[in-house]
Structure 1
Amino acid sequence: MARNIKYLAVHCTATSQTTSISAIQSYWQKQLGWKMPGYHFIIKPDGELVQLLPIEQVSNGVQGFNSQIINISYIGGVDQNNKPVDNRTPAQKATLLKKLKELKVKYPLAKIQGHRDFPNVHKACPSFDAIKEYKDV
């Protein structure tokens, strides 16, 4: 069954940029007990886009909204003291923009926003203003 996609949610992993995708997946499974990944797509520092889940399936990106979201994240988003920082590489910025444009063609009514822009979210994720940055996408 097709999902009604209302949002394209932008995330950061809130990890160091050297964190591996397998370590992130292991955290979701072992620490959080999730059966599904947190994102549909994850972007490595070199700009490589990795799909973790088909968009037809629901990921664990934003509590209470997941059935209506495609979740896309970049690896990073915090400094060495775990403080929020926009440390996207130029390659990550380019890949993120390209993927959001592709998804917007498929889901023209979907709103692009950061994890922090959803109700009752108390985190800085994705460590930049996604609504402002992608308002023209």
Structure 2
Amino acid sequence: MREIKYIAVHCTATPQTTSIDSIRNYWKTSLKWKMPGYHFIIKPDGEIVELLSIDQVSNGVAGYNSKTINICYIGGVDKNLKPIDNRTEAQKKSLLAKLTELKKKFPKAIIQGHRDFPKVAKACPCFNAKTEYEKL
């Protein structure tokens, strides 16, 4: 098993109507990634979809992926593509449950947003994940 130092929280920075298939297609065709950007993605209805086993490396945070589990919710922008925390209640509940589960498995891992990593100039995940999940 990999050494996990971080659990990174992301948003897709897409409308909440965006499909997982279109996100996967973007990674493959536009970014030329062989692996997904996240281990888990949370749909607006709260369904958690595993895109990659946590023993494999995803493409969530450049320079940190080998020691990070990446989890994401679909959304994070308004109709003008401006950053906004628009998680549904179902997404909040599912995200908390998955982070709680992962933190039990990796108690020393730091939960933080994508934006909290050094040299990241993004609003992602469009809320303060460090503060929201500091008690886990």
**Whole-angstrom distance in 2 between the partners of 1:60 and 1:80:** 26
**Whole-angstrom distance in 1 between the partners of 2:90 and 2:48:** 10
Specify the alignment match of 1:13 in structure 2.
Answer: 12
Q: Which amino acid aligns with 1:125?
A: C
- Give the superposition deviation at 1:130: 0.2
**Whole-angstrom distance in 2 between the partners of 1:118 and 1:4:** 18
**Whole-angstrom distance in 1 between the partners of 2:89 and 2:23:** 22
Specify the alignment match of 1:62 in structure 2.
Answer: 61
Q: Which amino acid aligns with 2:33?
A: W
Specify the alignment match of 2:111 in structure 1.
Answer: 112
Specify the alignment match of 1:38 in structure 2.
Answer: 37
Give the total of aligned pairs: 136
- Give the superposition deviation at 1:42: 0.1
- Give the superposition deviation at 1:18: 0.2
- Give the superposition deviation at 1:69: 0.3
Pair 1:51 & 2:70 matched: no
**Whole-angstrom distance in 2 between the partners of 1:34 and 1:68:** 18
Pair 1:134 & 2:133 matched: yes
Query: Moved runs in structure 1, 4+ residues, more than 6 A?
Result: none
Secondary structure of the equivalent of 2:70?
A: strand
Normalising by structure 1, report the TM-score. Answer: 0.99
**Whole-angstrom distance in 2 between the partners of 1:95 and 1:25:** 21
- Give the superposition deviation at 1:123: 0.4
RMSD of Structure 2 on Structure 1 (CA)? 0.3
Specify the alignment match of 1:29 in structure 2.
Answer: 28
Specify the alignment match of 1:96 in structure 2.
Answer: 95
**Whole-angstrom distance in 2 between the partners of 1:58 and 1:113:** 18
- The gaps in structure 2 that reach 5 residues or longer are none
- Give the superposition deviation at 1:89: 0.1
**Whole-angstrom distance in 2 between the partners of 1:110 and 1:135:** 11
**Whole-angstrom distance in 1 between the partners of 2:15 and 2:84:** 11
Secondary structure of the equivalent of 1:10?
A: strand
